[in-house]
Amino acid sequence: MPQFLNSTDAGFDAAFTRLLTMKREDAPDVDRAVAAIIEDVRARGDQSVIELTAKFDRMELTADRLVFSPAEIDAECAKVGPEDRAALELAADRIRAYHSRQMPEDQSWTDALGATLGWRWGPVGAAGLYVPGGLASYPSSVLMNAIPAKVAGVQRLVVCCPTPGGVVNPLVLFAARLAGVDQVYRIGGAQAIAALAYGTETIQPVDKITGPGNAYVAAAKRRVFGRVGIDMIAGPSEILVIADRANDPDWIALDLLSQAEHDESAQSILITDDAAFGASVAVAVDKRLETLERRAIAGASWRDYGAIITVRDLSEAADLSNRVAPEHLELCVADPEGLASRITHAGAIFLGAYTPEAIGDYVGGPNHVLPTARSARFSSGLSVVDFLKRTTITRMTPEALAAIGPAAARLARCESLEAHGLSVLARLSRLNGA
C-alpha cells in the first residue's frame, strides 16, 4: 500500500518532509570500480573496452566490430515493421519541430559610448549519446537526445548502446538513423563513458555526453565531467498528479503506474482535494497491478514510494507540488492553466485530463530527458541549448575605451593586478598623445 497523507492531520508537515527525503535508489559504492575502469580505458584503449564488454555484456568483439557497420544497421532497420516505423517517424518529426523553435539568436548592438557588444551561438563539435541496452532499451531516448543535437548543428554525433549477449534492438538503430546519428557503438557501461570522454584507437572523443544509464554510468559521467560536458545525473523516474474528483480514477491510476513501471525506485504521487477520489484511485491501481506486465516492478515502486495526499484545496496542492519539484507534473483539474500559473518548480507540466505524461515520453514534442530528485528547483530538461555554446563579443572604439578604461584600470589596481591595469593605461596614454 502507498502512504496516505492528509494535510489537515497533525504531523503532516513532518510526514511530507520524510516523503521528500526518502532514499529511493540503492547507492552501492561503485565509484572506486568506475575510477579503475576509466583509468584502464585511458591506458589501454580499445583492448580495455573489448575485455570489459566481454566481462559485463557477454560479447566477444574486436576493434573493427566495436561500431555497427552501415550494412548491419541496414539489416536491422529492415526488421522494423511499418507501424513501428510510422510511429517513430511521427515522433521524430514532432520532436524536431518543437526543438527547432528553441534555437537562440545571435545578438549585437552598439551602446551609447560606441562599444559594440553581443554574443553568438555555436554547437559543440561532437556529442556522444548513451542509450541503455537490454530490457531498458528505449528508441524514444535516442530521438530525444539526438534530435536536439542535430538541430543545434552538432557535426559529429555518436551513440553507445550495449547489446548484452549480442541482442540488438532494431528500433534503436532505426531511431538513430532517423535522428542523423553518424555512428553507433555496441558498448556500454562506464567503459563506454570513458571511451567517449578520452577516446581510444577506434573511438574518437566527444565534447559532450548525454543520456541515461545505471549507477555505473552515472558515476562515470560524474568523473569525466570537466573533461567533457554532461547533461545531468538522472535519478529514478517520478510523477506527481494533481487531480480533482471530476477525473476517471482508472485514468489517474494508469498515469501513476506509467512511471512506477520504470523502476522499483520510481515514485508516483497523487495530490487531490477529495479523499474519496484518492481512495478510488488506490483501488484502481491495485486492480491494474493484477494484469500489468511489469506488475512486480510497478507494484514495488507503488508500495515503497507511492503516496496519495489529500489537501484542503488546489492552492495548497500547488504549494506542495513546488516543494516536490517533480520531474513530471500532471494537472488534471478544471482549470489546468490557472493552476499551472502557480507552479514554480517542475521538469514538465501536462495540462488537462487528456494529456497523459506518456504523450510527453514519445510524441508530444518537448524533451523527455528531465530533472529528477527535486533538481527541477534549479535545472531544466534537455534542450537544443545543451548542445550549444555562447561566445560573448566585445569591440571598443578609442572613444569607448577613453570613457570606460579608467574605471577598468582603477578596479585592476584595487585587485592588485598591475598588468591588467597597465594594458588599459598604455592604450589610454596613446590616446592622450603621451
Residues catalogued as catalytic: 327-328
User: CB under 8 Å to 74, separation ≥6 — which residues?
Assistant: none
Question: Which set of grid coordinates corresponds to residue 333?
Answer: 483539474
Q: Which residues pair with 127 in a beta bridge?
A: 157, 208
Instruction: Assign residue 280 a region (left: φ > 0; alpha: ψ between -120 and 50; beta: otherwise).
Output: alpha
What is the full DSSP assignment across 358-425?
A: HHHHHTSSS-S----TTGGGT-----GGGGEEEEEEEE--HHHHHHHHHHHHHHHHHTT-HHHHHHHH
3-state secondary structure 57-78: HCCCCCHHHCECCHHHHHHHHC
DSSP 330: E
- With the CA atoms of 349, 352, 355 and 356 taken in that order, what torsion angle do they form, in degrees rounded to the nearest 10? 80
φ, ψ for residue 73, nearest 5 deg: -65, -40
CA distance 60 to 284: 47
CA distance 237 to 259: 6
Q: Do 361 and 144 form a contact (C-beta atoms < 8 A)?
A: no
CA distance 155 to 349: 32
CA distance 108 to 121: 12
- Decide: helix, strand or coil at residue 9: coil
What is the full DSSP assignment across 114-129?
A: S-EEEEEEEE-SEEEE
User: CB under 8 Å to 305, separation ≥6 — which residues?
Assistant: 2, 22, 24, 265, 266, 267, 268
User: CB under 8 Å to 98, separation ≥6 — which residues?
Assistant: 364, 365, 366
Place of cell 503516496: 307
CA distance 405 to 409: 6
Radius of gyration of the chain (CA): 26
